[in-house]
Amino acid sequence: MRMEIRSLPFRSTVALILCAVISPAAELPVRTIVLYKHGVGYFERSGPLAPGESARLDFDAASMNDVLKSLTINDQGGKVTGLRYDSSIPLEQKLNEFPFRIENGQPLASVIDQLKGARVEMDFGPTKVAGAIVSARLIAGDKDHAEREQLTLLMDSGDLRNVDLGAATSIHFTDVKLQTQFRDYLGALTSSRSKDKRSVYIDSTDAKSHDVKASYIMPMPAWKSSYRLMLDDTGTQPTLEGWAIVDNTTGEDWANVKISLVSGKPISFISQLYAPKYIQRQGAELAEDQAVAPTVYSGAMEMAKAAAPSGRAAGGGGGRGGGVGGADAFTVNGSTSAMLMASPPAPQTRFSTIAEVGPAGELADLFQYSIRNPVNVKKNESAMLPFLQQKIAARKLIIYSDNGRPNPLNAAELTNDTGLTLDGGPITVYDAGAYAGEALVETIKAKDKRFISYGVDLGTRISTNQDSHTDNVRSLTAHNGIVTTKNAVVMKKTYTVHNVDPRAKTLIIEHPVRPGYQLINTAKPFETARDVYRFEVKVPASGDVTLPVTEENVYDQQVQVSNLNPDSLQIYIRNQNVSAAARSQLQQIADVKTRIVAIDAEKSRVDADIISTTNDEQRNRQNISSLSQVAGQQATVQEYARKLADQEVSIAKSRDRQKELDTQKSQLQTQLNGLIEKLDF
């Protein structure tokens, strides 16, 4: 019997076969945030969980490495049974694991046709049909019939039956595994819609409601600090006001969140924990499992005389800082005044009216500021939060440190007596209620001090004059034939200060520290930094003052005594810093070297005479040879012969003198070597 069920035709969707509903997970709101200066933030979330309920935490994909590295769970009254999170496997790779594929706009018949053999139950109003899927297809329409989807089932009776998918009111797969696969398939598609969002699920099987707390770190913009410094000439201690700038880039609102700010830079890094890690393994097989190839042996060329053995090696927050009292919520009060008016009064800027700032104190090797009242910051917004308003020790002065500029800078010396660590940042300076300039300061620990400069002092001009010279030998020592001298280069720089203002000033001159140089004959600097000396100079009203700074660089020079000529030795002998004993030893060496120089000079003359005489002999022999063949030249030949004989005698005497000079020089050289070896002072 063949049965076909029809109804009003319509285009079926995959939703008809997906009846499983994923239960929603609880979201834990943010309660506490701690922001650091090195690009991370610490977050603490907490909230209640119903019996058997899971909690869900959403993160950017880029945050997952830090979250997985730092996430901690505290289940108060219950037990956490596991943590799950969205995988980073690409969607295409996930979908390839399923035995079916659901494409965009794909007819239901095409999906079901991939599940041949699966058992399905279908409702057609009051009628139910059940059987195994044989095939499913889309039947094109014509002018009399609309397009429809048809399913062929193998009934329990063994009959094949065609049913109209468009008429079905429900479709149910009896295979639980197949149902799970459809849920997982849709879950993968759902998670892929937000490519940058990943969820972490906290599973708990407790039978009663309980609270769960989760904490972790994640990438965050570094919080920024800015200050306002209120100076005054009335003797009132200046006030320093600090504001923190925080940015909410988490993608969710911060509502009634407790915020703390940490000054310092702990070591932090990114470890690739989120992406699956595949290890390339080495292949290994037993040698006995490998086939043996045939061996081809070559013929011998000659017999070995001896067998050579061969082998192969086998190798295998404590203290609290003070604050300023105020209301329960911080506000900033101000007034508006006209910008243009006749004879405007001088602007008067006072410190902000803020709520009592929260406690601050040491946190291990860091420093933490706590915002007293809960903070509300919407997503993608930023906020300014006050963390400091205290009196601070400061004195006004001027600083000169740039030789390329004739004017010093208006400055202040800040001594951190607040008991807190002051985070580095920009400072806006107000002097007597008026804007005076801006400065930048690095982090100042408690009891430390820093200079800040915020403007140019046009009423003071400074010029410099440089003078340098090299001193003679300061001292002379000798040992093992080496003379060591101490020499010095002296540099003097004079600062001339001219003050045209009718008030006295305190000037700080920063003089660069030169490697190898020491201060001499100079007033002692009141402090020395890593690369500058700081001199404090009192500049009179409408007056001038000078500051000379003298430095010297003492260095050693070494030279072999044997390489010094007599003139060089005389320079050392005439030096007033050389002792009489040293002068006597050097004079003896100089005398011997002088005699050796004289012998060398005489020997050079003798050598020249021998060469000249030898050349003359050669010419005489040539003359004798040529004239002997000419008649009547016997007298001339005899004259040349007498000259030749005299020249031979002269050459013999010169060679004898050479030997004498060589002997004298050798004796003097031995004497010199002995003097050099004994040289010690």
Q: Residue 222 in contact with residue 41, Cβ under 8 Å?
A: no
Percent of the chain with pLDDT over 70: 81
pLDDT number for residue 121 = 92
Segment of 156-160, 439-443, 542-546 carrying the highest mean pLDDT: 542-546
Q: What are the DSSP calls for 90-105, one per residue? A: -HHHHHTTSSS---TT
Of 33, 105, 16, 652, the closest CA to residue 385 belongs to: 33
User: Rounded distance, CA 679 to CA 584, Å?
Assistant: 10
Q: What is the pLDDT of residue 15?
A: 41
Region 431-441 average pLDDT = 91
Residue 106: pLDDT over 70: yes
User: Looking at the predicted structure, is the pLDDT value of residue 654 above 80?
Assistant: yes
Contacts made by residues 519-526, CB under 8 angstroms, sequence distance 24+: 519/549, 519/550, 519/551, 520/490, 520/550, 520/551, 520/552, 521/548, 521/550, 522/548, 522/549, 522/550, 522/551, 523/547
- Domain residue ranges in the chain: 14-127+171-219, 224-265+351-392+410-442, 460-562, 566-678
pLDDT at 6: 37
- Average pLDDT rounded to a whole number, residues 412-427: 91
Residue range 478-495: average pLDDT? 90
pLDDT at 142: 78
| pLDDT score, position 338 | 33
**Buried/exposed 27-36: b ≥16 CB within 10 Å, e otherwise:** ebebbebbbb
- The mean per-residue pLDDT over the stretch 308-335 comes to 39
Q: What is the pLDDT of residue 349?
A: 57
pLDDT on residue 298:
45
Q: For residue 288, what pLDDT is reported?
A: 64
pLDDT at 463: 94
- The first and second tokens of residue 385, run together, are 């939060």
Q: Which range is most confident: 81-90, 303-312, 333-342, 424-433?
A: 424-433
Report the alpha-carbon distance of residue 48 to residue 27 in Å, rounded: 9
Per DSSP, what are the bridge partners of residue 162? 152
Where is 613: in which H helix or E strand? helix 580-627
Helical axes 580-627 vs 566-574, angle rounded to 10°: 160
pLDDT, tens digit (0-9, with 9 covering 90-100), for 382-401: 999 998 899 999 999 999 98
Q: Rounded distance, CA 12 to CA 34, Å? A: 52
pTM of model > 0.75: no
Residues 284-304 have a mean pLDDT of 56
- 18, pLDDT greater than 70: no
Q: How confident is the model at residue 293 (pLDDT cuts 50, 70, 90)?
A: low
Q: Is the pLDDT of residue 88 over 70?
A: no
Beta-ladder partners of 152: 135, 162
Question: Are the C-beta atoms of residues 502 and 542 closer than 8 Å to each other?
Answer: yes
Average pLDDT over residues 237-249: 93
CB 464 within 8 A of CB 458: no
* Highest mean pLDDT of the ranges 309-318, 428-437, 577-586, 616-625: 428-437
Enumerate the β-bridge partners of residue 361.
368
Task: Write phi, then psi, for 556 (nearest 5 degrees).
Answer: -100, 150
Residue 219 in this model has a pLDDT that exceeds 80: yes
Q: Is pLDDT above 90 for 595?
A: yes
SS3 644: helix
Residue 14 has pLDDT above 50, yes or no: no
Q: Tell me the mean pLDDT in the region 340-347.
A: 42
Q: Encoding tokens for residue 595?
A: 């005699």
pLDDT category at 340 given cuts 50, 70, 90 is very low
Query: Using 50, 70 and 90 to split pLDDT, how confident is the model at 357?
Result: low
User: What is the distance between the alpha carbons of residues 20 and 12, in angstroms, rounded to a whole number?
Assistant: 18
Residue 648: band (very low, low, confident or very high) from pLDDT cuts 50, 70, 90? confident
Query: What is the chain's mean pLDDT, rounded?
Result: 81
Interatomic CA distance for residues 563 and 544, integer angstroms: 54
pLDDT at 75: 79
Binned at pLDDT 50, 70 and 90, residue 294 comes out as: low
Say whether pLDDT at 280 is over 90.
Answer: no
- State percent of the chain over pLDDT 90: 35
pLDDT band at 454, cuts 50/70/90? very high
Question: What pLDDT does residue 325 have?
Answer: 36
Q: How far is CA 99 from CA 12, 418, 525, in A?
A: 21, 69, 83
pLDDT band at residue 291 using 50, 70 and 90 as cut-offs: low
What ranges make up the beta strands (E) of 104-196? 119-124, 127-139, 148-155, 160-164, 170-173
